[in-house]
Structure 1
Amino acid sequence: MTNILILGAGYTGIAAAIRVATRTRRHGGKVTLVSAAPRFTERLRLHQTAAGERLDDHAIADIISGTGIDLVLGRVTALDPARHEVIVDGGRVIGYDKLIYALGTVTDLSTPGVAEHAYVYDDHDQAVRLAHRLGELDRGTVVVAGGGLTGVESATELAEAHPNLRVVLLSRGRPGSMMGDKARAYVDKAMARLGIQVRCGADVVKVLPDAVELSDGELVDSDATLWTAGTRGLPLAAEAGLTVDGQDRIVVDSALRSVSHPDVYAVGDAAAVRQPYGVMHGTCQGGIPTGLHAADALADGLLGRRVKALRFGYVHQPLSLGREDAVIQFTHPDDTPRRWYLTGRWAIAYKETVSSSPMPTYRLLKRGLVPVGLFRLTAGLK
């Protein structure tokens, strides 16, 4: 029997667990999934939760039922790759032969005051706490720090849901800077329509209880501050001696195996995956495909089959602009923008499709009906 351990029950970890269980259960594979929470969190929609929308609730035990996967609830506190052991809070030790590390990333808290005074999207409860805070405000200012896709989605969602509040988006560069000129101009118009005050070139150096401080000393008043300006991997991997990059992501080979500890696979945002155009950056597009690829690579290795290299290319940058608008920037495989983009109701439909609940996908995976080739087509794998 081969003990296969998956750490993390997000989009990527659950997909990897179901896939590897399906492929190895007839060949002696015993799969265990470790999750810090009993419920599944739709991280792609946390900005909707923060705006007060109630999303469907899914128990992880129900999602993996019928797969033979053992579920362990607990937060991973240590990893010992030399002993092939993981320690979960409470001191429980879980051994493994092969491990898939799918713990994702967390908010970079290096800026003073972020940990103490800002709301972040590291889990569902924190988004709910922000929703409760905004619900308490009759008027006031919400500051969103970070002009990436998450920051823009959050600012537009909150401005639409709380028209009584002043929303300020602080960004070092132009919000949506990775998009093409026309799509970016559309984003600008949408934020102006929603009354969002955009501050480009704003470098936040400190978060205070009722304001944020910029590098030039200016204080921007804030009744609630949402921090979306950067993530990094958990310190677990580096503390365990695995080779990591500057953002604490595990450096992997073409089969998504750790370059220093090949019995450990890393997937999703937790992995530094090099492709011909550079290292993949964390997006939803790469999550489930890398999880499925690692599961197949692990299974193929156990079954004595040839392990294939991962080849991944991006296809789009989907961006919601509240519930009533969206823009889709189509991209080259290296994520640079193409000429084509989509807006309005067609963009809304497109965004809802690609960001919809993964439950139908998991049900198909449990039945072995979704080949990896489908994800290679839809997520840009070539």
Structure 2
Amino acid sequence: MTPHIVVLGAGYSGLIAAKLAARRTNATVTLVNERDRFVERVRLHQLASGQSLRDLPLADLLGGAGVRTVIGRVTEIDPDDRVVRVAGADPLHYDQLIYALGSRADLESVPGVAEHAYTVAGAEQAQRLRERLEPGSGVVAVAGAWLTGIEAATELAESRPELKVLLLTAGQLGEALSERGRRHLRRVTDRLGIEVRAGARVSEVRPDGLLLDDGSHLAADTVVWTAGFQVPDLAHAAGFAVDEHGRMIVDETLRSVSHPEVYGIGDAAAARMPDGQELRMACATGIPSAPRAVGAVASRLAGKQPRPLRFRYFNQCISLGRRDALIQFVRADDSPVEAVLTGRLAVLYKETIVRGALFVQRHPAMLK
């Protein structure tokens, strides 16, 4: 009997996994996604700032791949009967499940975020922020100053100079970067007129701005929330082993430690390197995890022992508007070295990485 592989989520890791599963196994493959478009999530700050992004229908990206698609929101996973339930569709029975549902903005950890803040974590949310900012000038407070927050703040400040952009961070700006990286980041925020508030911890988001934990109020017309991400509760609700954040706990082959017919990849899985370090949420880790998970599925279906995940970090790529960027080179464990690339060369470097991430969606066979 032909096995059925169901892949949940058509993001940077899920789409690759579905196409490779159809190519490298004799299974029937079904890909489930809430929308019929692929979202270049790493470009959503550009969409929010008023730029246009290319339209990427899943049907085009899957053309000829031999993957069946089901468009709809996953509502439940029943691991006992190996069934996935999707709103508006028939139940899907699986033999192997690849869980790649990604992450979304954390709207629950601070009061008022869900009601009053905007995010750039999804296409609809980025479009909503874009529409909010279109009428004219105002004060925009970006809460959270790691990669997403830095990219959102610099893109808005460059593309929309009529806006007053504030960037809030609980620690110091760029504290995970090298000294050279921090200096360049500070030069860029100064050049773009971004006001940086270090040591600012938000205790509440209100319609007219933010309340900080020291009791002070920071006025803002729009609050952009980039301070953290969360994963869907589906894995936890299904009874899969998850960590304290709800991420599926997987072994060195990306297989669930509690359910051997299930694999987890991308943001929604807690994958670790051999030394125990957990891989961070990023398409840079999600993309290479997809072929490894599919390789493990294919090997086990063929009665072979799969290879364990091997991964090392190389750089962190941060766009700083369209005319500048910062490439922070790192050690294998993601800790920074002093070497950085900045300016126009860094822009070309970052754009090459982003285009490459889309290229492998079209041609995943190039991945090992």
Q: Counterpart of 2:326 in structure 1: which amino acid?
A: V
CA contact (8 A) 2:104 2:229 kept: yes
TM-score (norm 1): 0.93
Residue 18 of structure 1 pairs with residue 16 of structure 2 = no
Give the CA deviation at 1:20.
1.0
Q: 1:84 aligns with which of 66, 82, 85?
A: 82
Residue 298 of structure 1 pairs with residue 291 of structure 2 = no
1:220-276 deviations in Å (ceiling 9; x for gaps): 111111100001211111111111111110000000001011111000111101111
Residue 160 of structure 2 is matched in structure 1 by 162
Aligned length: 365
For 1:166 and 1:200, locate their aligned partners in 2 and report how far apart those are by CA, in whole Å. Answer: 17
Residue 245 of structure 1 is matched in structure 2 by 243
For 1:221 and 1:328, locate their aligned partners in 2 and report how far apart those are by CA, in whole Å. Answer: 33
CA contact (8 A) 1:42 1:357 kept: no
Residue 319 of structure 1 is matched in structure 2 by 318
For 2:34 and 2:41, locate their aligned partners in 1 and report how far apart those are by CA, in whole Å. Answer: 14
Secondary structure, in 3 states, of the residue corresponding to 1:257? coil
Residue 340 of structure 2 is matched in structure 1 by 341
Give the CA deviation at 1:91.
6.1
For 1:166 and 1:357, locate their aligned partners in 2 and report how far apart those are by CA, in whole Å. Answer: 33
Give the CA deviation at 1:305.
2.2
Secondary structure, in 3 states, of the residue corresponding to 2:91? strand
Secondary structure, in 3 states, of the residue corresponding to 1:217? coil
1:301-332 deviations in Å (ceiling 9; x for gaps): 11122201001111001111100101101000
Q: Counterpart of 2:124 in structure 1: which amino acid?
A: D
Secondary structure, in 3 states, of the residue corresponding to 1:136? coil
Residue 50 of structure 1 is matched in structure 2 by 48
For 1:182 and 1:361, locate their aligned partners in 2 and report how far apart those are by CA, in whole Å. Answer: 32
Residue 210 of structure 1 is matched in structure 2 by 208
CA contact (8 A) 2:44 2:121 kept: no
CA contact (8 A) 1:79 1:85 kept: yes
CA contact (8 A) 1:258 1:265 kept: yes
Give the CA deviation at 1:363.
3.1
Following superposition of structure 1 onto structure 2, how do residues 217-228 of structure 1 map, counting pairs within 5 Å? 217-228=215-226
In structure 2, list runs of 5 or more residues that go unmatched.
none
Q: Counterpart of 2:294 in structure 1: which amino acid?
A: A
Secondary structure, in 3 states, of the residue corresponding to 2:355? coil
Secondary structure, in 3 states, of the residue corresponding to 2:168? strand
For 2:260 and 2:246, locate their aligned partners in 1 and report how far apart those are by CA, in whole Å. Answer: 17
1:90-129 deviations in Å (ceiling 9; x for gaps): 3631110000000011111221111111112332011011
Give the CA deviation at 1:277.
5.1
Deviates more, 1:300-309 or 1:245-254: 300-309
Secondary structure, in 3 states, of the residue corresponding to 2:13? helix
Secondary structure, in 3 states, of the residue corresponding to 1:354? helix
In structure 1, list runs of 5 or more residues that go unmatched.
373-382
For 1:18 and 1:91, locate their aligned partners in 2 and report how far apart those are by CA, in whole Å. Answer: 22
Secondary structure, in 3 states, of the residue corresponding to 2:185? helix
Change (3 A) 1:148 1:359: closer
Q: Counterpart of 2:313 in structure 1: which amino acid?
A: Y
Q: Counterpart of 1:18 in structure 2: which amino acid?
A: K
Residue 361 of structure 1 is matched in structure 2 by 360
Q: Counterpart of 1:115 in structure 2: which amino acid?
A: A
Give the CA deviation at 1:357.
5.8
For 1:357 and 1:346, locate their aligned partners in 2 and report how far apart those are by CA, in whole Å. Answer: 16
Residue 103 of structure 1 is matched in structure 2 by 101
